[in-house]
Amino acid sequence: QVQLVESGGGLVQAGGSLRLTCVASGRTLSTRAMGWFRQAPGKERDFVAGVSWSGANTYYADSVKGRFSISRDNAKNTVYLQMNSLKPEDTAVYYCAAARGGSAGYTPSRLVEYDYWGQGTQVTVSS
């Protein structure tokens, strides 16, 4: 079983940056697409960004395009989310997730397409 641990969240002013890190233990994630989701209190969990297991293909929610960047280092079983130009509406708990199997270019964006989830890390953006 894959276990995921997120880190890097915190409090930042609008316009600032944060870099989230997700480290996997147990089974390697090298053949799994990875994604980041976020959830604000009382709201649904939303897709933020995904990267295929090859690392060649990425997909972003419209709300974060041009501001966030997802990347991975399979040798370290690690995925990153670089968040720039943060806005108050980005405030949420951010979760990393490992997807089910797929082709090298598979870039899922739905909750049901992911098998494993981290515990989440809080990101708060003040105005």
Whole-number Å distance between alpha carbons of 101 and 62: 25
The DSSP output letter for 65 is T
Dump pLDDT digits (tens) for 15-27: 999 999 999 987 6
Token representation of residue 124: 């708060």
pLDDT in tens, 100-109: 877 888 889 9
pLDDT in tens, 34-88: 999 999 999 999 999 999 988 899 999 999 999 999 999 988 989 999 999 999 9
